[in-house]
Structure formats: C-alpha cells, structure tokens
Amino acid sequence: MDDKFQQKPFSAEELIAKLSQASPLQASKVLIESELFEKKSSINVLDEIYKHFDSKSGLIDELVAPVGMNVLDGIISHKKLGLNRTGLTASRVWNEIKGFDYSIAEVNAKTLSNKQQLEGMRTPRDYNKSVRATMTDGRNLEKRKDKKSDSNGRVESGIEVKDDGERVILYRHQQQARDAGESKLSADTDHVIPVKQINDQYAKNVYLTDRDIAAVTDGDFNLIEISNELNRMKGAGSFRDLFDRKKTLQAKRDSGGKMSQKEKNDLKKLEGVSDKTLENGIAAEKESAGKVLGSAQDSALGNLKNNKKAIALKAGGQALEQGGYQLLGTAIIEMIKPLFHELSDSIENGFEKGVNVARFNDAVKIRFGRVSAYLKDVVIPTLHGSVKDFFQNLFKVLIEGILGLVTGMFKSVMRIISEGFSAIISSIKIICSKSDSMSSSEKADAITKLLASTVSTFVVMYFSEVITKIVPDPFNEIFVIIASGVASTLLVYLIDKIDFFSVKYEKRSKLVAEVFQERIAQIKRNTDAFSAASVQALVEQKLTFNKLCGDLEDGITSDLDVTSNVNLIADFMKVELKIRDTESFLEVLRREKVLTI
Amino acid sequence: MLGLWNAVKAGVSMVKDTVSSVGGAVVEGVKVVSDKVKSGGSKVYSSISGKKYFDEAERLYEKIESRFKYARRRYEIKISERSNEIRDHLQRVNKFKERIYTELFRKFLDVANRLHRVEVEGKYFKEFLAEDIFDCKEFEVVQSRAALFEIDFNDMSFGQAAYSILTLGFYSRKKAKQSLQQVKDEEQRVNEEIAKMESRITKAEQVVLSLSNVVIYFESIVANYVTLLQRFEFGVNSQRIIRAGQSSFDKLGFRMMPIRHIEDFHALFNLSVVMKEMSSMGYISESGELIEHDLAAIDTFSRHTATIQAA
C-alpha cells in the first residue's frame, strides 16, 4: 500500500512517557490530545485513492514495462549483437529509458558508451606468463631505467626517503651497488599498478586492443624506481598492503601480543622502511590508478570513435564483427530510448496533451521531430564510425543472412506455434486461477489482452517476411521485435481503455478495500495500544497516590511530623514547593512579614 | 331410460370433468412454463442490462445506511453516557475547589494568622464540559445515492434507455457495475468511520477513568487537610491556654510555638500550595470561568465578602 494512505501508528511507549512527564492531574488532557487516527476525512482519502488509481503510473509499470523489457531483452541477447557480453542487461537499460529526458540525454549517451562499456566486463581474462608477456616488455623497463639514471649511473628512488627527508639515491646496476657495499640499493623499475590487476580490470574490454593494454601497463605513469630490497618486500602486493601490515604488527607488539618468528622478521624488515616512504608509495599508487583508468578510457573512446582496425587486431575476424555489432547494438539502444519515452509519455499524459497541442498531426510532428533531432544530434555523431564500420562489413553479413534464410523461415513458423501455444496455456492458467484472486471479469479481461497481444505479434510476424526483404540483417529482427512490442502495447492499452468487462472499477475497489482495511486495522491497533497504555499508567498513578495518602493519614493520626509526606505528594503531583524543610520554613517566618500562598 | 340418461349425463359429466381437469392442467402447465420463461427472461435481461448489479448495489446501500445509522446511534448514546460521567466528575471537582477557597483556606488562615500573617492569592477555575470535546460532528455520513449511483433502473431517462439498447446493454451494464463498485467502496469508507467511532468511545472511557482519579486526589487530600488542620488548631489553642496564664503574654507568635506545631503549620502551608495548584487548573479543557477569590489576611475578609458570595 502506498505510504500516503497509511494511518500513522500510535506509540504506547510515547503515551506512557508523556503521562509520566506530565502531572497526574493533567492525565485527562494528555489522553484527549492523543491522536489515534489522522484528521483527514475518509471522503478525501477515497478521492485520493481514485485519483491515484487514475494516474496511470501503474499502467506504465504493468503494461509498458514487461513489453519494454522483452524488446530490450530480445535486442541485448541477440546473438549477433552480443550486447549481453558487454555487461548490459535489459533491466539496466530499462531503468535508463524510464529516467530518459531530452535535457539529460547527452549525458546518458556518453555514460553508456564510456563508463558502462568500460566497466561492463565481468569475468577477468586468465592470467599467466604468456599473457604477462603480451602486456609488459622487460626492455621498456630497462629503457626507462636508463632514462632516469644520471651520468654516474645513479637513480633517484621514486618514493623512498631518508630520515632527513631527502630521496634515497639508488645504483643503476647491481654490480655498482655491490662494489659500494650497498647491495640492497640497486635500482629496480617496477609497475605501480601490478600487471595482473590491469589484466583483470581491462583485458576483456572489446574496445581495448592488446597494444592499448600494453601501452597502459608499461606507461610512464605506471612505472617507478625503487630499491630492489623494497621491491622484494612488496612482491605482488601493494604499498598499501605493506603499510597496513607494518601497522598491524606494530600494534600487536605494542599490545604485548605473542608474535611468531616470521612476524618478528617481517616487522624488522618493515621498520627498516620509513612510514614516509610507504605513504609516498600509497600516493603514487593512487595517482597511477587514476592515470591508468584515464589512459584506458582514452584508448577505448579513440577506438570507439575512429574504429580503426585496432579492434580487429584483438582477436581476429569474429571479434571484428563482434565489436562492430556491439557498437551497433549500443546505437540501437540509444535509438530506442527516445522512442520508448514517447510511447510511455503518450500513454501517461496523452498523445496530444503530453506535448501541449490540440491536434493529433501537430503532436506527431513534435514527437517524431524531437526523436529524429535527438538521433541526429546525439546518437549519430557519437557512433558515426561504428555505423560506417558496419556497412563495410555488410556484404559478409548479407551472405550470412541469405544462408540463414531457409532456417529463418522455419524458425518463424516455430515461433508462431510456440507463442500461440504459450498464450493458450496462459489462458487456461488464468481460467483455473482461484476466484478470490481474480474475478470472472478480470479473467475475461486478462485473456482478451493476452490473446490480443499474441494476435498482434502474429500480425507483425506475418509482415516480418516482407520486413526481412526490405531491412538488412540484423535490423530486420530488431525491427520485428520492436514493432511487435509496440503493437501489442498499444493494443493492450486500447483494450484497457475501452474496459469491455468493467474490470477497471473492480480493480479500483480492490485497491480501495486494501487501503481502508489496512487503515481500519491500524486504527484498531492504535486504540488497543492506547487503551492498554492508559489503563496501565492510570492504575499505577492511583496506586502510588493511595500509598502516599495512606502514609500521610497514618502520620496525622499517629501524631507524627508529616512535612515529608506532603513533600512527596507535591512531587507526585509535580507541584513545585519552595520551602521543603521546617528549618527553612522557620527561616522564612523570621524573615518575611507576610507569607503568601 | 332415465337410468341410461343419468348414466350418459354422469359419463358426460365425467368426461367434462376430465377435460376440464386436463384443460386445467394444461393451463397450469402453460402458466408454469410462461413463468419460467418470464423469470428466465428476466434473469437474462438482468444480466444483459446490468440490472442485477444495480439491484445488488441497492441492497448493499440500504445495508450500509442502516449499519451506519446503528453505529452512529450507539456512538451517540455511549458518548452521551461518558459525557454525563465526566460532567458529574467535573461538578464534584468544582465543589472541592469551591470548598477549598471558601472554607478550608479560610479556616487555615484563621488559625495560621494567630502565629504569622498568611495570605492566599489567586483564583480558582470553575470548569465546564465543552460540547465539542469528542468531536461528535466530525464523522462523515453515508454519501447520497446520487453521488454513488451512476444509473437508476427504476427511473431511467429515455436517453439512457435508448443508449443502453443501442449498445446492447453495454452502457447500462457498465454504469450499473460502476455504481455497485462505488457502493462497495463506500462500505469500506463507512467501516473506517465506524472504527473511528469505536476508537473515540475507548478514548472517552479512558478520560472518565483519569478524571475519577482526579476526584480521588481531591477527596483524599481535602480529608487529610481537614484532619491536619484540626490537629494544628488544637495545638495552637492549647498553646494559647498555656500562654494565657503567663503575665508577659500579649500575642501568640510562632517563636513561642513548640516545633511540632511549626511542622504542622509548614505541612499545611505546603498542602495549601498543592491544593491551590489543583484548584486553578482545568482538567479536560480550558472552558470554564475563573472565580476571583483572593484571600488576604483574615482581617481583610470583609472586603472580599461580595466575591466569595458570588463564587
């Protein structure tokens, strides 16, 4: 149930707290002020439910969403487009479509072609020596070391610092270091972001070639000179790992925890590296990670826009088509967005009203005008290269299409049979469903809609043979998917609007009953909680008072001092007494000429 | 001959009877069939035109109306009973307040002023029961037939009838069903109103309970005040008698009093503060009137006689 129709729950604890804070003399007022149900008139609530029901937002979710998801799923799982391999899912794209707005469309287009494509890769490529060999070349590291050395064969460490804060100077060659008796200070050129991490993150991206990945791995921004000792200590881990381990071991030692021999050795080694050095290392890791990502994105976008043969080099001819089709798929999804937006908007706000015009023709002009403007201005410029690439591969695709024609026809027939069969099965299921979950009118309505949408799909399928001839593969299938989706949506919407079986009012009554039954149950729960809390508090107050008054009475009859009894009664009543002990009372008598109550 | 004639007559008569009885049976049979056809036809008509929905809506509407009427009546009786109880409690409380100002404080000042000058400032609050305390008029009654029924088969306009026939009953069926569903919705709404009434009754019961506590507070405190005042007065009078024999005795002052009488004085003083607070507040609402009752020192009583009498 929508939150706006709910009765606010009443808190018994709150009432008990209020009663205990207030004077027992004010209990009645506290009880009267307690709200056990909202003040809103039930007629207004009923009106609001009617309005909510008519708002049609539910219709979009009930009607357009399943069809939309089916269409998207058809496109995304299309074997040639292979969009599912890019990490796209129908629900993800559907969410984007639902949030589509012409004013923010450009951002969305970029998001899809950039971030989603880059981050969409899920399973990393297997990593081994031969893979590593394609990513990094020892010669690059040596060249870099030479470049960084001075004429005396000395290299400044990228991150290591001495106690005085100056950078550690390393030896270019191992022999030099040994000769100087500082064998630990020979320079190593190392990857800041480890090669395996880059493989896991980027290798499967269809828009990055092996060369792109190698360029990123051995890029200047990802290399650093450090002492061979620190390099050995770091191994396949990161500076962040080293820093964390050092702190953990130190904390363990300081807290008197028992340390193994290995831990003691490790700590000794780690304490030989200053915190500042490790902090520099962490900063370098952060900077390089940003640059690696930036460089990967640039390469991917470069491939995406220019679509040089770079993608083809990645994994042969099949991948070329794959990459091309994926780009094409992206373009198709970008085209669907404004189309679905128009469809949903027409249903929700009216075809003409949604664009604030009175005539149907004007609405058509505006709606289709803005779709084509969007495609021209936003989608086509971004994906121009890919579309061009697709047409370059068109011959290949056409041959495939002709070969698949015979099997294609067979497939269509099978599809019609299976669609029809599943529609009949669904109808039987609806008829057999329990009458308390669906009334007979609702069943009739559901079956009509189901059959109508199936028929509309058949009609579109019938024309698909014609479409196949006019539209090239794989557009034809996509076109059929979209057309059947849109046709069945419109048909079902029309049936819903005509409401042959007056199901609308039945459904609305169901909502009304659901809302009011919950509201009534809440009022009852509130009243019970109120009654229980009130009785409890009032009985407790009465018992406390009886005890206090009984003690006072006993005191009076036994001729005792009752000032403290009176104080307790005043405290119970939450009445403030200015003079609480007899000493002070005598003091006041002496000081004041007149005592005022 | 006659016998034969009689026999023939009897035979004819028998045949006539038989024919007549057969005829009767046939007529009866035709009637049954025609009734069946009629009722069957009427059922078909009801289904096609949607009259069955309309009839159901009418029955339901009447049921809702009588249920609401009953609930409303029950609510009014219960609330009126609780209101009377509250009124009684308030009257008792008002009487206590009045007695506190006109009798008890006066008596206390009378005794206390023999030891030290004491005054009571302020007024007490005479409370009335506000009419709208339980918002009796807040509930929404059952909406009118006109608001709920989209079609009336008992009084169908020519246009509606024609439209229904032209649409093969589609129009009237739809309107009747809409009416039925709207009446069903109204039933749900009325259920909420009834639940609200029950909730209000429970609240009123708790208010009565809380007020009965207040009455007990007044009763017990006033009773103890009276006893303590008697003890205090007795103590003061005893001291007067004791001091009266002394040559230097002029006026009894608190300094001459034994501490136990000062303790009583103190306890009564504080209890008066509590009682004054209890007398100045409203327990249900702020409807009522403030009764001026400044009690200055005992010797100023005469100046306030008029006010006291007015109270």
ipTM of the complex: 0.76
- Helix ranges, chain B (H): 2-49, 51-99, 105-112, 145-148, 158-166, 170-244, 259-280, 305-310
Residue with structure tokens 């609780």? Answer: B82
| A527 interfacial to chain B (CB closer than 8 Å) | yes
Mean pLDDT value of segment B2-8: 44
Q: Which of these ranges, A146-155, A279-288, A369-378, has the smallest mean pLDDT?
A: A369-378
C-alpha span between A98 and A375 (Å, rounded): 18
- Residue B36, pLDDT > 80, answer no
Q: Looking at residue A474, what DSSP letter applies?
A: T
Least CB-CB distance to A519: which of B192, B221, B260? B192
Q: Minimal CA–CA distance to A279: which of A158, A155, A148?
A: A158
Burial (Cβ within 10 Å: 0-12, 13-18, ≥19) of residue A318: exposed
Per-residue pLDDT tens over the stretch A498-548:
777 777 888 888 889 989 999 999 999 999 999 998 999 899 999 999 999
Q: What is the pLDDT of residue B306?
A: 32
- Residue B2, pLDDT > 60, answer no
Q: Looking at residue A3, what DSSP letter applies?
A: G
Q: Which of residues 2-61 of A touch B (CB under 8 A)?
A: 24-29, 31-32, 34, 36-37, 41-43, 45-46
C-alpha span between B264 and A561 (Å, rounded): 7
Position A312 confidence tier, pLDDT thresholds 50, 70, 90: very low
Question: Which residues make Cβ contacts (< 8 Å) with residue A112, sequence separation at least 6?
Answer: A96, A330, A333, A334
Contact A538, A27 (CB under 8 A): yes
CA dist A107 → A113, A302, A381, A385, B76 (Å)? 10, 18, 14, 19, 64
Question: Which residues make Cβ contacts (< 8 Å) with residue A459, sequence separation at least 6?
Answer: A487
Mean pLDDT value of segment A96-101: 70
Residue A224, beta-bridge partner list: A190
Q: Which two tokens stand for residue A120?
A: 């969409």
Please tell me the total number of residues recorded for chain B in this structure. Answer: 311
Contact B229, B107 (CB under 8 A): yes
CB contact under 8 A, A524 and B195: yes
Contact A190, A224 (CB under 8 A): yes
Residue A186, beta-bridge partner list: A171
| A560 interfacial to chain B (CB closer than 8 Å) | no
Torsions phi, psi of A349, nearest 5? -110, 0
C-alpha span between A183 and A219 (Å, rounded): 28
Q: Which two tokens stand for residue A425?
A: 């099965």
Q: What is the pLDDT of residue A549?
A: 92
C-alpha span between A121 and A83 (Å, rounded): 11
DSSP per residue, B49-97: HTHHHHHHHHHHHHHHHHHHHHHHHHHHHHHHHHHHHHHHHHHHHHHHH
| A597 interfacial to chain B (CB closer than 8 Å) | yes
Three-state SS letters, A334-356 = HHHHHHHHHHHHHHHHCCCHHHC
Contact A114, A126 (CB under 8 A): no
Closest chain B residue to A29, measured at CA: B284
Residues of chain B neighbouring A538 (CB-CB closer than 8 A): 206, 209-210, 213
Q: Which H/E stretch holds residue A44?
A: helix A42-54
Per-residue pLDDT tens over the stretch A112-146:
333 334 334 345 677 888 888 888 988 888 888 88
Contact B185, A46 (CB under 8 A): yes
DSSP per residue, A363-397: HHHHHHHHHHHHIIIIIHHHHHHHHHHHHHTHHHH
Position B275 confidence tier, pLDDT thresholds 50, 70, 90: very high
Per-residue pLDDT tens over the stretch A317-360:
433 444 555 565 666 666 677 777 777 777 677 777 777 888 87
- Residue B66, pLDDT > 90, answer yes
Q: Would the CA dihedral through B227, B230, B235, B238 be positive or negative?
A: negative
Position B305 confidence tier, pLDDT thresholds 50, 70, 90: very low
A385 or B104: which leads in pLDDT:
B104
C-alpha span between A232 and A248 (Å, rounded): 20
Q: Minimal CA–CA distance to A478: which of A331, A342, A322?
A: A331
CA dist B179 → A507, B59, B60, B147, B148 (Å)? 14, 12, 11, 9, 6
Q: Which of these ranges, A18-22, A366-370, A407-411, A466-470, has the smallest mean pLDDT?
A: A407-411
Q: What is the pLDDT of residue A38?
A: 86
Residue A169, beta-bridge partner list: A156
Mean pLDDT of chain B, nearest integer:
76
Contact B284, A32 (CB under 8 A): yes
Q: Minimal CA–CA distance to A430: which of A493, A505, A422?
A: A422
Contact B246, B169 (CB under 8 A): no
CB contact under 8 A, A594 and B118: yes
Amino acid identity, position B200 = R
Question: Which residues make Cβ contacts (< 8 Å) with residue A513, sequence separation at least 6?
Answer: B184, B185, B188
Q: Which of residues 166-225 of B touch A (CB under 8 A)?
A: 173-174, 177-178, 180-182, 184-186, 188-189, 191-193, 195-196, 198-199, 202-203, 205-207, 209-211, 213-214, 216-217, 220-221, 223-224
Q: Which two tokens stand for residue A52?
A: 């909510």
Three-state SS letters, A120-146 = CCCCCCCCCHHHHHHHCCHHHHHHHHH
